[in-house]
Amino acid sequence: MPEPVKKAEAPAKAPTDGPGESSVEPQPAPAPPAAAPTGEETAAPAHAAPPAEEAQPPDTRQDLTGLFTEKPQTGEVTVGENITFVAKVNAESLLKKPTIKWFKGKWMDLASKSGKHLQLKETYDRNTKIYTFEMQIMAAKPNFAGAYRCEVSSRDKFDSCNFDLTVHEARAAEGFDIRAAFRRT
């Protein structure tokens, strides 16, 4: 009995070299051992394990996207009011601090526009390992309306999110005419 096990190990090593050369060779190699004793059938599941390992790398590739734990949402604001857009990123699996970029339209980077009407903030919570990025628009103007985009990246990981801002005109107080207070009677 110990000798058939040794023979089963020897053919298992030869097909192991085969998958490195091509993936077609391991399939014909298990067919002849299937007719052999049960000791070689245990070698066939060993050949089934490498394809299962090959199935895992696509799962890791899917993990490369989806950095946001909370994405900025489309918002509405009235002229002269403030609005804040929030993006959160879980840094537990990241090796380096993520960088974030805010865009208006397709290409206008808002980092250079921060000042009186636009502020960009970032905070980090050490307990939850979550970065919170905020874009605050103050005293909104009608030309602030439009499409915005938030991009976050950390080394080889990248994610982006699109959102819109709608700016409504300020409502004028109807029925009140200031000139009426100064008219002579």
Print the SS3 string covering 104-154.
Answer: ECCCEEHHHHCCCCEEEEEEEECCCCEEEEEEEECCCCHHHCEEEEEEEEE
pTM: predicted TM-score of the whole model, two decimal places: 0.57
* Residue ranges of domains in the chain, CATH in brackets: 60-168 (2.60.40.10)
Ordered per-residue pLDDT tens for the chain, 185 residues: 555 554 444 444 444 444 444 444 444 444 444 444 454 444 444 444 444 444 444 333 334 457 889 999 999 999 999 999 999 999 888 888 999 999 998 888 888 888 888 999 999 999 999 999 999 999 999 999 999 999 999 888 889 999 999 999 877 666 666 777 777 76
Burial of 135 (C-beta count, 10 Å sphere; 0-12/13-18/19+): buried
**Residue 183 phi/psi, 5° resolution?**
-75, 145
